[in-house]
A and B are shown apart, each in its own frame.
Chain A
Amino acid sequence: MIDKLLPCLLSGVSVGGQYALIAVGYTMVYGILRLINFAHGDIFTAAGFFMVYLAASLPLSLSLPLVILLTVALGFAVERVAYKPLRSAPRMSVMISAIGVSYLLQNLMWYITGGLAKQYPVIPWLSTSIAIGPTSTKIVTLFTPVLTIILSVALVTLIRRTKIGMAMRAVSRDFETARLMGIKIDSVISATFIIGSFLAAVGSVLYFSNYTSVTPTIGAMPGLKAFVAAVFGGIGSIPGAVIGAFVIGICENIIKMLGYTTFSDAFTFALLIVILLFKPTGLFGEKISEKV
């Protein structure tokens, strides 16, 4: 039994860690803008392609930071171009804009790559295989959850202790009041997108070191799953998103182990619906009621 379970848990925890890094981006944006940033999964994919093209001509030590920089710039640009002009528009319009951006990014990547899968460069240390008990795996599998936890602890500290963190909390509590209190809403939102994109870039490096080919639509599914993870954990809550992501990653792999492979994706959504029905605020979410 342990022979079966160990590899399954290993890849579950690893996938979970990667989902977590994406989920944090979703949960932060949702917490502040009340927007499901459908384009977040595509930003994750774009980070993968940045790496593919940069590593072809630059050494890793240069391309790695450049990838993160470019991804952050992309996330920032998407917010400025597609979401900022709609700040006073109904929520549905912003969500449609997000869907439009996702459509655009996917088509753009399809065009640039010619729609073919690209091989992700090998990152020496991460891609090395090591043996664990009866099975073996890449180092990245073990490294991912560790890094995820370190990053999320850092992020939680940032939000608890720093001035920008306090501003973020204020904005997510009450948009209008925070504005009246002199908080620069736009910079807070930009900061949120920058952090989210940064984590997506890190997640992308880990993800593609493990699964080494990048296609234009590859980010869509992990993106949706990460969003489900964020809802599961209670949207707006960072520890919630991380825990939700690990739960989904592990469950998904157990389902595959049991042979119900057709349903590995569907399961995530079933979980989402169950959560929404029985605990709409997720594990750690707060209840918000509308004033009449």
Chain B
Amino acid sequence: MKKSTRMIIGFLLLALLFLAVWLIERAMGTNSMVITVLKKGAVYALIAVSMNLLNGFTGLFSLGQAGFMLVGAYTYAVFTIPMAKRMAVYQYYQGGIIQFEIPFFLAILLAGVVAALFAALIGMPVLRLKSDYLAIATLGFAEIIRAIIQYDKLGPITNGSNLLKTYPTFTTVLFPFVVSAVCIGIILLLIHSTYGRAFKAIRDDEIAAEAMGINLFRHKQLAFVVSSFFAGVGGALLAMYQGTVQANAFKSAMTYEILLIVVIGGMGSVSGSVMASFLFIACSEWWMRFLDSELMIGTFKVPLLRSGFRMVVFSILIMLVVLFYRRGIMGDRELSFDMFRRRKGVASK
């Protein structure tokens, strides 16, 4: 198959997928669980891919993702709350000091930009650190960001530690799909450019990469900033999905969850991260929900089933993946036409 035909087929498939999603929404109504899973899955797909760019492609073990999502989510919310509602939202701060609102698509972009700025600042000191020290330092920075946002004195801007709400949210499930698809597309283009090759070189062997003339710090900084930009956009989408946003929810547990999605999908596989996101969200929000409620079959009460059991089963499954299926769904390969063809080829031999 020629490269151009392959691209056309790829785009057609993507369009078909969008159409399918749109039809599902039409058929099921916006309130059904399928739609919820699709929405949240699309948001998490972007966030997971942005984390994969760092951890999977550049080999930087960063645990700061929740912090950048927080920055993005807050930037979005703060600038899009309608003027009329500000007094009630900022009830302890006389309506806050930001007395204007900007269109939501600008706010999404701004969310990414602000997150990227934070990343550029934080990156300067921490990117010089090695593997696990980097992990713990980025984790620390995420906590510091959270504390700053909750700081009472910043309340007129951030509403302190209180909920932000009433900003514009999704009206259709296609919105997160389109935004995520565009963003993931850009990340894919970057990965397949000469810079992406340099990232992978750094991941494989820092010393050799440096000896090949790759400026380690500048490339790490680039990956970090780009990843944080998209984490910020993802944070804004998450805020839109949830309808409310509060700094308290962006704990390190959130980063761990995204990291686990990346691992399940395969470190260094964009398509893996996307698939794992939908799978993860569908399991945690939907397919395994029944484990949380008590079930009676006749007079027999099924043992173990009660609130919290879902998460236990879920975390055991994750541990099994981490221990015995370490490469995840995709390893570091991508979903492609060749994958199916080669398999067929092997079979015919």
Contacts and interface: CB of A to CB of B under 8 A. Distances in A.
- Verify whether A and B have any Cβ pair under 8 Å: yes
B132 A91 contact: yes
A227 B137 CA distance: 11
Nearest to A108: B312
A180 interface: no
Interface stretch (A64-72, A127-135, A192-200, A260-268): A260-268
Interface string B111-130: 00000000000000110110
B137 A272 contact: yes
A277 interface: yes
Interface in A203-257: 217, 220, 224, 227-228, 231
Nearest to B318: A100
Interface stretch (A5-13, A82-90, A168-176): A82-90
B315 interface: yes
A270 B144 contact: yes
B147 A100 contact: no
Contact of B326 (A89, A108, A269): A89
Interface of A: 34-36, 81-82, 85-86, 89, 91-93, 95-97, 99-104, 107-108, 110-111, 114-115, 217, 220, 224, 227-228, 231, 262-263, 265-266, 268-270, 272-273, 276-277, 280, 290, 292
Interface of B: 55, 61, 125-126, 128-129, 131-133, 135-137, 139-141, 143-144, 146-148, 150-152, 207, 252-253, 256, 259-260, 263, 267, 306-309, 311-312, 314-316, 318-319, 322-323, 326
Given A36-B132, A95-B135, A108-B312, A273 B61 contact: no
Given A107-B315, A262-B152, A266-B143, A86 B323 contact: yes
A93 to B, nearest CB: 6
5 contacts: A85-B323, A100-B318, A103-B318, A262-B147, A290-B207
A289 to B, nearest CB: 11
Contact of A280 (B129, B150, B152, B311): B129
A10 B255 CA distance: 35
9 nearest A-B residue pairs (beta carbon): A269-B140, A266-B147, A111-B308, A107-B311, A104-B315, A266-B144, A100-B322, A107-B315, A111-B312
Contact of A263 (B139, B141, B147, B267): B147
A85 B322 CA distance: 11
B154 to A, nearest CB: 10
Contacts of A224: 139, 252
Given A266-B144, A269-B141, A111 B319 contact: no
A31 to B, nearest CB: 13
Contacts of A290: 207
B321 to A, nearest CB: 8
B308 A100 contact: no
Contacts of A86: 323, 326
Contacts of A217: 253
Given A91-B131, A111-B312, 8 more contacts: A86-B326, A103-B260, A110-B308, A224-B252, A228-B140, A263-B147, A266-B146, A269-B139
Contacts of B267: 92
Contacts of A92: 55, 61, 131, 267
